[in-house]
Amino acid sequence: MRNANSDIVLQSYGRCCRDEQFFEHFYNVFRSKSEDIRNMFTHTDMAEQRRLLRAGITWMIMHARGGGRSKLESLGKSHNRHGYNVPPALYRHWLDALMESVAAYDPHYDATLEQHWRGVMTPGIEVIASAW
């Protein structure tokens, strides 16, 4: 079932993607959320990680538009306790960091747009976290 707000979020994401610093900003905010998160990225190629983030957000938006579930299930498998070992509780921080980054890079950001983003991202996060 297609989320009616996915078009609004896709347009917002397009505005954010105009500046490559959006992804770097996201990881700076995300890593500031906890020492556990910082430690997960100690030996990470951050340029590659930013590329993967760009794709992952796109897959989550596509999931809200009715597709992309298999990509998110794959992400769930790679991030579960047998993979990168990302506890489901950390996805709340991921979403908060994403919202802080959207607020910084989308000039149309407001509380309503944040609600749209959260509504579009949450089902994808649930797919990923369910693989734990």
pLDDT digits (tens, 9 = 90+) for 2-55: 888 999 999 999 999 999 999 999 999 999 999 999 999 999 999 999 999 999
Residue 82 in any domain: the answer is yes
The structural domain count of the chain equals: 1
Backbone angles phi, psi at 20, to 5 degrees: -60, -20
Domain of 98: which CATH number?
A: 1.10.490.10
Helix (H, G, I), strand (E, B) or coil at 45: coil
What does the block give as tokens for 117? Answer: 């983003």
Residue 1 in any domain: the answer is no
Residue 124 in any domain: the answer is yes
Residue 65 in any domain: the answer is yes
Residue 71 in any domain: the answer is yes
What does the block give as tokens for 82? Answer: 């047998």
**Can you tell me the distance from the alpha carbon of 33 to that of 18, in angstroms, rounded to the nearest whole number?**
25
**Can you tell me the distance from the alpha carbon of 6 to that of 68, in angstroms, rounded to the nearest whole number?**
13
pTM for the predicted model, two decimal places:
0.95
Domain membership of residue 88 as a residue range: 6-129
